[in-house]
Every structure is written in structure tokens, then in C-alpha cells.
Amino acid sequence: MKSFHLLRKCIPVFVLSLAAWAQPPAKAGSSAELERVLNRMDETAASFRSTQANFIWDQYQAVVEAKDTQEGRVFFRRAGNQIEMAAEIAKVDGKPQPKYDVVDVYDAGKNKEAFESFLVLGFGGSGHGMLKSFEVTYAGQETLHGVSTDKLDLVPKSEKARNMFSHILLWIDPRGFSVQQQLFNSEGDYRLAKYFDIQPNQKISDSAFKLKTTGKTKIVSH
């Protein structure tokens, strides 16, 4: 994956193609609770074809004590040995997204592995596969929206990834999907992602993963 795209036309869409994780053996010393959750995620990943869900993404910036909220729908699907992701952002801070005809292209470059490891967490990646990129500990159980979840605390192994996020919390539901994620950086900022109405292995139209552009679309590289 060289880059990802954010399309701001009516409803923004960004599309990513992510390498699927290998599934190394479990490490010695893992707790029984952690093994149980990782095994459940492995089983879900083995039968994973696609997932779609509604989302609320909160981004908090500590320096200015500001938070913005995005709402929309997210799509994942397996394509060969890759996982593709797309998101439609319908609202920002409770207001319909303005209509733009701009595609923002962000070069992942040397941060490719970090993007891949963050964005498939709980959606198609195996549980034990996370051990390749993260130190994972079991953080207990918590009920979210009436559903009992298992909470995992992830610390990136690479310094490059830790420069982006110092640690990540995942809430895994009984089906092996991540119903909530919270990513923290060292400056006190965080990104909280909540997922609702998760629908696994449903048919997703190819159009959900295509950038919708016209001859007037402006391409902006970052």
C-alpha cells in the first residue's frame, strides 16, 4: 500500500488496501483469558469475507481541548490476501458533510506497516496476528450497549508506531469483532471509534470501494 485516499464529494469515502496478517503461534505466558479472546478472533478471521457497520469517530486534541465527531458507515472485505477498507462520512459534528469535489491523497510511505496494523484491528485480522505488531494484555470485561465485551490493551512494538499511538484499547464482542477502539498518543490526544449494527459476511457492492470522481475533481497530494 503506497497511499490512501479521502474523497470529499457529497459523502467522503476513503479506501485502503491492507495486507492480511500472518498467524504466528501464541507466545508462552499468555493468560487464559487473553488466549480465549485471541482464539475467538482467529476463528472469526478464518471465516471472514466482509463486514459493514455504522460508526461514530471522536477525535480529541488535548492542546486545544477540542473534539470533533464524524458519523457514517464503514466497509471491510477480503480480497485475496488483502483486506480492503472504505468509509463513508455522512456527518461531522452532527451536521451533514458539505459537498466537495476534492480527493485528498496521503502518502503512507514509511508508515505503511503502522497504518496496516491499526486499521484492521478487530475487523478481519487474526487475534494471534496482533502479537506480531503489539504487546497485548487482557484488561478485563466491560458491558457496552448491553453486550459483554473483553477489553484488550495493545502497545505497539515498533518505535515508529508508538510515535503515532502510544497504546490502544480494544473492546471485543462475543463474535470476535471490535465494537469499540480507543487510540492514544503521548500528548494526551485520542481517537475513540464506536461501531454499531455490525453485519458480517454480507454482500457489499464494489461501488463502496471505488472513488467517485468526475472530470472536475481536484486531486490534492499531502
Which of these, 109, 156, 110, 150, lies nearest to 130 by C-alpha position?
A: 156
Per-residue pLDDT, 85: 83
Q: Which grid coordinates belong to 129?
A: 496476528
Per-residue pLDDT, 18: 41
pLDDT in tens, the chain (222 residues): 333 444 333 444 444 444 433 334 334 335 899 999 999 999 999 999 999 999 999 999 988 888 999 999 999 998 887 778 888 889 999 999 776 677 766 565 666 566 556 767 888 888 998 998 899 999 999 999 899 999 999 999 988 888 888 999 999 999 999 999 999 988 889 999 999 999 999 999 988 888 777 878 887 775
DSSP letter at 97 equals: P
Say what the pTM is: 0.80
Per-residue pLDDT, 107: 60
Q: Which grid coordinates belong to 92?
A: 461531522
Give the whole-angstrom CA distance, residue 219 versus residue 3.
13
Q: Which grid coordinates belong to 8?
A: 470529499
Per-residue pLDDT, 68: 93
Instruction: Give the residues across from 57 on adjacent strands.
Output: 70, 193
Q: What is the DSSP string of 177-211?
A: -EEEEEEE-TTS-EEEEEEEEEEET----GGGGS-
Indicate the length of the chain as a whole number.
222
Per-residue pLDDT, 213: 77
Give the whole-angstrom CA distance, residue 50 versus residue 83.
9
Per-residue pLDDT, 26: 36
H/E element, 33: helix 32-46
The domains located in the chain, with CATH, are 3-221 (2.50.20.10)
Q: Which grid coordinates belong to 220?
A: 490534492
Give the whole-angstrom CA distance, residue 162 versus residue 210.
31
What letter represents residue 51's amino acid? Answer: T
